[in-house]
């Protein structure tokens, strides 16, 4: 493979589900904060910034996990793990991507710039949380939800309680889909001593995932209605709930294929919630 192809593989360019899982709640928060379409500037900043920071996070994660990934069937051929990309190259690429994202943030305001350092800190901490925290997916939940307060900061120059409540609700969605992801690697993770929610929850994994989905959708529905959203938004929530029930049919037997498909399809669930919210504003 050429170096470019290796770098694109490192940042999961051909697998957009990862950054889309970050994007949809961020855009939903941006629409809520702005009371509708937030303008092309903020839309571009948060869309490109999400893509760049997710890509930077992949570089950091693969460097941190390189000694573990070689023992996991799904990750053994990753560029850093296989040695096709050096640790120095991966870190330099990650730093360049993070700096590009920071350049975008600099076009917003001081509060958003300040929050970006918190987002970076959580991004750097997460790969190592898997060694010490029994449910590291909660740390990932904070990392994958930090775009929410940043969106409010950029649109309103403040972060109201609504933003933090949305972050907490979104954290439960991350717990749901990343536990599905962890179920794929559970046998390998047990052998190497990695800590994941799939291992911690044990036989309650499927029930917990469905509870996580329920909490996420209930919290967002309640907050959306309190923020003035109406029937179209609630239809989007209902459609997302139907997708969550479909995911149960994929994960109930705990097969690697079913769990991985459920994880990969989650970005459609997030897109559905965002679409309902954006349409609700558009049709007023």
Query: Where in the sequence is the domain holding 73, given as residue range(s)?
Result: 3-282
CATH number of the domain encompassing residue 272: 1.10.357.140
- Please report the pLDDT score of residue 236 as a whole number: 98
Q: How many distinct structural domains can be found in the chain?
A: 1
- Please report the pLDDT score of residue 177 as a whole number: 97
14-26, pLDDT tens digit by residue? 888 989 999 999 9
What are the residue ranges in the chain where pLDDT is below 70? 1
Query: Do residues 130 and 195 lie in contact, with contact meaning Cβ atoms separated by under 8 Å?
Result: yes
Residues 6+ apart with CB under 8 A from 184: 74, 256, 259, 260, 263
- Please report the pLDDT score of residue 1 as a whole number: 58
- Please report the pLDDT score of residue 109 as a whole number: 97
- Please report the pLDDT score of residue 199 as a whole number: 92
- Please report the pLDDT score of residue 25 as a whole number: 98
- Please report the pLDDT score of residue 123 as a whole number: 87
Report the predicted TM-score, pTM, of the whole model to 2 decimal places: 0.93
């Amino acid at each position: 493979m050429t170096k470019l192809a290796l770098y694109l593989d490192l940042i999961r360019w051909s697998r957009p589900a990862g950054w889309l899982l970050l994007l949809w709640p961020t855009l939903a928060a941006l629409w809520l904060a702005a009371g509708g379409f937030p303008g092309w500037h903020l839309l571009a900043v948060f869309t490109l910034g999400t893509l760049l920071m997710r890509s930077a996070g992949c570089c950091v994660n693969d460097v941190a996990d390189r000694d573990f990934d070689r023992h996991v069937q799904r990750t053994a051929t990753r560029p850093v793990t296989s040695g096709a990309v050096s640790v120095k190259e991966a870190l330099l690429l990650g730093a360049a991507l993070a700096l590009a994202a920071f350049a975008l943030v600099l076009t917003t305001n001081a509060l958003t710039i300040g929050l970006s350092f918190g987002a970076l800190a959580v991004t750097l901490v997460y790969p190592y949380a898997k060694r010490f925290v029994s449910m590291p997916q909660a740390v990932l939940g904070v990392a994958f939800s930090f775009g929410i307060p940043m969106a409010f900061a950029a649109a309103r120059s403040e972060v109201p309680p609504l933003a933090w409540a949305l972050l907490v609700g979104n954290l439960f969605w991350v717990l749901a889909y990343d536990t599905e992801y962890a179920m794929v690697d559970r046998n390998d993770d047990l052998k190497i001593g990695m800590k994941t929610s799939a291992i911690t929850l044990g036989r309650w994994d499927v029930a917990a995932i469905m509870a996580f989905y329920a909490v996420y959708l209930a919290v967002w529905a309640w907050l959306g209605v309190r923020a003035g959203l109406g029937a179209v938004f609630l239809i989007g929530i209902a459609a997302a709930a139907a997708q969550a029930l479909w995911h149960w049919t994929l994960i109930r037997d705990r097969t690697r294929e079913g769990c991985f498909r459920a994880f990969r399809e989650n970005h459609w669930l997030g897109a559905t919630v965002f679409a309902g919210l954006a349409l609700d504003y558009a049709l007023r």
